[in-house]
Structure 1
Amino acid sequence: MPDLTYPPARKVDQTDTYFGTEISDPYRWMEDVDAPELKQWVDAENALTQSWLDEVPQRESLRTRLMALTNYERYSAPTRHGTRYFYSHNTGLQNQAILFWQEGLDGTPHVLIDPNTLSTDGTVALNGISITDDGTLMDYAISDAGSDWVKWRVRDIATGQDLPDIVEWSKFSSATWLKDNSGFFYQGYERPADITPEDALKSANYFHKIYFHKLGTPQSEDLLIFDRPDDRELNMGCAITDDGRYLIISQSRGTSPNNQVTIKDLTQPDSSPILLVTTEEAAFDPIDNDGSYFWFRTTLDAPNSKVIGIDLAQQDLTNPSRDHWQTLIPESTNPLDSVSMVHNTLIAQYLKDAQSHIQLHAPTGELLHTFALPAIGTADGFDGKRTDTETFFTFTNFTTPATVYRLDLTTLETTPYRRPNVAFDPSLFETRQVFYPSKDGTRIPLFLTHRKGITLDGQNPTLLYGYGGFNIALPPAFAPAYVLWMEMGGIYAQAGLRGGGEYGEAWHEAGTKLKKQNVFDDFIAAAEYLIAERYTSPAKLAISGGSNGGLLVGACELQRPDLFAAAIAQVAVMDMLRFDKFTIGWAWKADYGSPSENEEEFRAIYRYSPLHNIVPGRKYPATLITTADHDDRVFPAHSFKYAAALQAAAPPHSEANPLLIRIETRAGHGAGMPLSKRVELTADQYAFLTRTLEMCY
């Protein structure tokens, strides 16, 4: 490949000291994301990257085919409120899905909100909704340019008109209505006295709070319902029980799944809150209640989770004990991912080797039925109330787009409700699950999806994807991009790494803090397995991941550059010594550790931090870094600094691989990104792989 002249990036004399170790940070100035100098660098980098991608003749045909594969109707599973059903629908190529409502299952659809009308470029997205039990009012959250900050509005569902109410400075929030529709609870932060757009994008967020907004009043009169001024790192969540009596408040530290639980009796507003769980030793997720009796899913003494029953009537509410807690569904060998209560039935959703496994249980825990899914894949949904007789779920796998099913819980009959039709033949492809040993012998699951009849000659272009963090599992799922990759002759490989949620909390913890290297070892071992089994070879193997998965890509391409021909790191965490300085980054200390506060964790982090482990003159895989200028989840300076450092260290000869960065404008971490931008991004990524893997198709 020809020489690339990278845009110059100024270095500054910036040195920080961590536990006696001096560490240079020459690109610290790139943290000023609104600086004119940085904008010039971003524009120059984008121009270089685009000019390089424009030389790939297949790029336009890739975009065209991806548009055709994406052009299919997509529905969410409906939810019922009163007599009305609510769901989202995308006709195919709309930038954002539209929210509809209808009377009854067969009623006439009515547009409730069309986010595509909120901006000309599709960058304003619907970020969350909450509908009253009777289906008459909805509050909805809008985010601009992919930001995590949202603005709540209230809409009259029958008229489609918005009420005057506006709630701002909300982030990482749901909303939950009082049963009389008089107002709603939400989470947010105290309004700052004076803040610039850059500060809103960059500043750390502490002291999450729960507020109550009464309809018809200004936000300045919203009531502070709950906060923890004693602990700035607790994130809040809340929900009202279906009977309207209790407000359940969850307090978790950063991204840890473990939480405290406080219950407030709304029928006795002057009563003291019930401090049900006051430590963060386990996760406690409320399922439902029947009067004072509560069902919870918990990891207490059960890393794979179990279901317990707690009767507040048997508790000293000033000093609750665990003496009368009952185990209803014991811990299984498979992690219990979530539980809902519909038709007085506990619907337990398990993961079995990263695939969905559904069981129906009585309220007392007895197994009633093992629910058969259409095929190996992922089921999601099963929402509803304890008195409902029906529920809906979606089912998907790598070759099946999300299909909506209705489950009649009185007969256990399952019927397709909405089935999409995509312009490809799924019978041409196959998926298998294999297992391989990691460096320490741990058995790791790996999904492989490709055309039927491939030859294991080591020449198949292969895209290996992973995440490995924050207790998030990677089950089978459909994406038009996967189909396009397989049509190009590629193998899509998806690894279930430690740090994720594939095998419960113990699996998650095995890839955190001082054990984070396990995640990289698992991913590297996946590459070695694919090469050893002759699915592919280093010259044909690419790796990809986003956010925490982008950190995975950065660490692995630096640790084993011999294994990969190409790497795509998306919205990645690359400066592991300063991740906790921006927006919500401090919350990730639950997974990563604290580089500034704990010397042992600093030493472990410093050994793998991508920004700090680039070796000058070493030939690294061809790299495409992608980020967005409005990413206020993973601050874009992570990607800017890594790209500048990687380019500065590149060997000065024509055999060096391209090291490119693509910066999206008016976009954030990924959520709510308009379809048009997602298609263009994928087309650029596949054009990059076409050229670097020397693909012929």
Structure 2
Amino acid sequence: MHRSLVIGLLASVFALTANADAASPAEEPAAEGRAPLSYPRTRTAEVAEQQFGVAVADPYRWLENDVRSDAEVKGWVEAQNAVTDRFLATLPGRAALERRITEFYDYERFGAPVKKGGRYFYAHNSGLQNQSVLFVRESLGGEGRVLIDANTWSADGATALADWTPSEDGRYLVYSIQDGGSDWRTVKVLDVATGEDTGDEVKWVKFSGMEWAKDGSGFFYTRFPEPQAGQEFQSTNLNARIYFHKLGTPQTADRLVYATPDKPSYGHYASVSDDGRWLVVTTAEGTDDRYEVHAIDLRDPGAEPKALVTGLENNWSFIGNEGARFFFITNKDAPKLKIVAMDVGRPGNPVTPVVAESEATLDGASIVGRRLIASYLADAKSQVSVHDLQGRKLSSVDLPGIGTAGGFRGDMGDAETFFSFSSFNRPTTIYRYDVRSGEVSEWAVPKVAFNPDDYAVEQVFYASKDGTRVPMFIVRKKGTSGPAPTLLYAYGGFNVSLTPSFSPTRLAWLEQGGVFALANLRGGGEYGKAWHDAGRLAQKQNVFDDFIAAGEYLKANGIASPKGLAIQGGSNGGLLVGAVVNQRPDLFDAANAAVGVMDMLRFDRFTAGRYWVDDYGYPDREADFRTLLAYSPYHNIKPGVAYPPMLVTTADTDDRVVPGHSFKYIAALQAADPNGQPHLIRIETRAGHGSGKPTDKIIEEASDVLAFFARFTGLQLP
């Protein structure tokens, strides 16, 4: 729930360079016969701070400034993009690769329907639309009608429909707009029958759900104070507040429902109970699964919040209610999580067990048709079981194979729900599940231009540095044997589980004879709280050790070519790539750090960074500082080291992990290894951390990254 808190110019380099300091040419191997690669000159400044007796240099701090308002940073970005574009244009097979990825993307895609008031709302993409279109049907088998087509909102396709929620009776739909990849949202309301906006508008919404009052009179949402002009994409997000917006009124009239002004770092998320009586407020300070929970009686206009859980000690994720009986997922005394019921009508809010902890990790739960549908991860693969409201297991949901299931939304009175299923070799298929009979039927099956059975998926387990057993998926085209160019991907943090999913871009890599590997490192949520705790704070090095061990396994077992291992990760995974390249530059043959957290001593000073202290620690506390300094990618680049080819990717409107992280990191890497392999940065415009990125930008970036990998791992492209 809270994880949503928990992604250029081709001209003369020297003509675009403003300030002079470290400009040395970098050359590819002489046998390639390529002209020297000259990096833009990046000014350095005498910036150093004493932290706990350590002089910490930060010569590229000026690159933290916002590219939209700082002319010097803008010029640097243009110069870097010019060099990168010129290099990428020389890569053999890059154009053919882009054509093939485009072909793989060109298939009809559906999202799982949401049923309200007898209407079915769902997302649909005809194939190459930059943004999916929101449709509605008046019956399950009826004809779809377009409600919202975000493709008409901007010429570049970078304005996206973010979240959307229909009212209980299906009459209205509240939706949010995301522009240029920013986390900021503008919220509007649509009349479903007419397809016209009502005129309601709410701004400065971020990290928020939109929860309708059951009577349809308005909705609850979370927002932050309006930032100062020019600081929209960098200022720290503090003082989250929950408001109620009544339809037909201006935002200035919105009623403040819940806030903690004495604790500005607290974030709040609102849920309306199934019976509509209660507003359940879940509070977190960071990204860890440690919540406080309060309930507000919506029948009493003057009701004070009733404390259900205090102390920020455990996960208490609200599922739904049956009268005074509130259902929660919790890890209290259950590291792999369980389902409990809390009686909020009795003194002390007594808690009773409903579905006990099991060997598999509980990944989510919902109440549909008076049934508890519980989703589990067994070695990072989905399993789904169905229980009555007393916890008795009634059945399991038959899944098509090894993969990832998601969805199962619905209401207490619904007789049906929908879920998605995908795997590495199978695009997302939508299924209808009959709650009473347990019957599973196909609702939307994609038609693709390849045979999924041509690709094999296996799971292996390998030993990390300390002997910990770590799972890893390996995917390849049948017939691919012996060592082959291999792409290794991982994340390793924030309790996020990596599970099988389909990617048209990865399929293009596999089709050409490459191997794809996904490692489930510690720090993720695949095995519950203990697995997460083993990869955060002072234990973060375990994540890097797990990833390095994965690379060693792939090479030692003849899966990856001796000089053919590429690595990739995004966001926290970008940090992972930066850290392991510093620690084992000899092991990896090409790397892509995407929208990464690269300066571990200043991450908490920008936008959502202050939430991440749960996983990373506090840079202003000595023990955490020393841990962070030991692996911070920006601070551990050493002159004279032969680093592997690196392509850093980021975006100018990323206000989750601000691009200054990537800017500073690549500047330091270019200065430390100026004559070695290429160390380049690709900076997208009008794109953010990843959410809402248009299809054409996704294809273009993926083509650049995979062509870069192919060049340095030996993968032969057409």
Structure 2 match to 1:616: 639
Report matched runs for 1:17-28 at 5 Å. Answer: 17-28=50-61
Which residue, out of 658, 672, 685, partners 2:705?
A: 685
Using the alignment, how far apart are the partners of 1:117 and 1:271 within structure 2? 44
The question of whether the paired residues in 2 share the 8 Å contact of 1:619 and 1:651 is answered with no
Using the alignment, how far apart are the partners of 1:453 and 1:301 within structure 2? 47
1:370 deviates by: 2.3
Identity %: 49
Deviations 1:530-569 (A, max 9, x none): 0110111341000000000000000001100110110000
The question of whether the paired residues in 2 share the 8 Å contact of 1:538 and 1:563 is answered with no
The question of whether the paired residues in 2 share the 8 Å contact of 1:261 and 1:277 is answered with yes
Using the alignment, how far apart are the partners of 2:643 and 2:634 within structure 1? 14
1:501 matched to 2:525? The reply is yes
* SS of the residue 1:689 aligns to: helix
* SS of the residue 1:556 aligns to: helix
* SS of the residue 1:172 aligns to: strand
Structure 1 match to 2:40: 7
Residue identity matched to 1:461: P
Using the alignment, how far apart are the partners of 2:291 and 2:681 within structure 1? 38
Report matched runs for 1:502-517 at 5 Å. Answer: 502-517=526-541
Deviations 1:627-656 (A, max 9, x none): 00000000000000001000000153xxx2
1:294 matched to 2:314? The reply is no
Residue identity matched to 1:434: V
1:601 matched to 2:624? The reply is yes
Structure 2 match to 1:579: 603
Which residue, out of 353, 356, 366, partners 1:340?
A: 366
1:268 matched to 2:300? The reply is yes
Deviations 1:452-495 (A, max 9, x none): 13222x3x000000000110000000010121010121000000
* SS of the residue 1:450 aligns to: strand
Using the alignment, how far apart are the partners of 2:135 and 2:486 within structure 1? 40
Using the alignment, how far apart are the partners of 1:595 and 1:276 within structure 2? 32
Range with greater deviation from structure 2 (230-239 or 88-97)? 230-239
Report matched runs for 1:162-173 at 5 Å. Answer: 162-173=197-208
Using the alignment, how far apart are the partners of 2:424 and 2:286 within structure 1? 32
Using the alignment, how far apart are the partners of 1:159 and 1:257 within structure 2? 41
* SS of the residue 2:321 aligns to: strand
Which residue, out of 84, 109, 122, partners 2:144?
A: 109
Residue identity matched to 1:22: A
Structure 1 match to 2:355: 329
Which residue, out of 652, 655, 658, partners 2:678?
A: 658
Structure 2 match to 1:159: 194
Structure 2 match to 1:240: 272
1:602 deviates by: 0.6
Which residue, out of 564, 569, 587, partners 1:563?
A: 587
Q: Which runs of 5+ in 2 are unaligned?
A: 1-27, 29-33
Using the alignment, how far apart are the partners of 1:620 and 1:443 within structure 2? 29
Deviations 1:288-337 (A, max 9, x none): 1111111111111111111111112222xxxx35xx31111111121101
1:338 deviates by: 0.4
* SS of the residue 2:232 aligns to: helix
* SS of the residue 1:562 aligns to: coil
Deviations 1:155-197 (A, max 9, x none): 11111111121100111111111122111110001234xx223
Structure 2 match to 1:41: 76
Report matched runs for 1:19-418 at 5 Å. Answer: 19-33=52-66, 34-192=69-227, 195-197=228-230, 199-315=231-347, 320=348, 324-418=350-444
Using the alignment, how far apart are the partners of 2:346 and 2:112 within structure 1? 38
1:16 matched to 2:53? The reply is no
Using the alignment, how far apart are the partners of 2:213 and 2:480 within structure 1? 57
The question of whether the paired residues in 2 share the 8 Å contact of 1:538 and 1:562 is answered with no
Using the alignment, how far apart are the partners of 2:143 and 2:611 within structure 1? 44
Report matched runs for 1:408-447 at 5 Å. Answer: 408-447=434-473
Q: Please, what TM-score do these two structures have when normalized by structure 2? A: 0.94
1:254 deviates by: 1.5
Using the alignment, how far apart are the partners of 1:235 and 1:216 within structure 2? 27
1:256 deviates by: 1.3
* SS of the residue 1:39 aligns to: helix
Using the alignment, how far apart are the partners of 2:299 and 2:332 within structure 1? 30
Q: Please, what TM-score do these two structures have when normalized by structure 1? A: 0.97
Report matched runs for 1:523-542 at 5 Å. Answer: 523-542=547-566
Deviations 1:422-479 (A, max 9, x none): 11121211000000011111110000000113222x3x00000000011000000001
Range with greater deviation from structure 2 (539-548 or 16-25)? 16-25
Deviations 1:569-624 (A, max 9, x none): 0000001100001001010001000111x111110110000000001021101000
Using the alignment, how far apart are the partners of 2:408 and 2:674 within structure 1? 54
* SS of the residue 1:196 aligns to: coil
Using the alignment, how far apart are the partners of 1:493 and 1:341 within structure 2? 35
Using the alignment, how far apart are the partners of 1:663 and 1:538 within structure 2? 31
The question of whether the paired residues in 2 share the 8 Å contact of 1:647 and 1:659 is answered with yes
Residue identity matched to 2:205: S
Range with greater deviation from structure 2 (364-373 or 476-485)? 364-373
Residue identity matched to 1:266: L
1:627 matched to 2:671? The reply is no
Which residue, out of 637, 644, 647, partners 2:670?
A: 647
The question of whether the paired residues in 1 share the 8 Å contact of 2:168 and 2:215 is answered with no
1:482 matched to 2:506? The reply is yes
* SS of the residue 1:101 aligns to: strand
Q: How many residues align?
A: 682
Residue identity matched to 1:590: D
Residue identity matched to 2:582: L
1:671 matched to 2:668? The reply is no
Q: After TM superposition, which residue ranges in structure 1, 4 or more long, deviate above 4 angstroms? A: none
Using the alignment, how far apart are the partners of 2:562 and 2:308 within structure 1? 54
The question of whether the paired residues in 2 share the 8 Å contact of 1:618 and 1:650 is answered with yes
Using the alignment, how far apart are the partners of 2:579 and 2:252 within structure 1? 46
Calculate the aligned-residue CA RMSD, in Å. 1.0
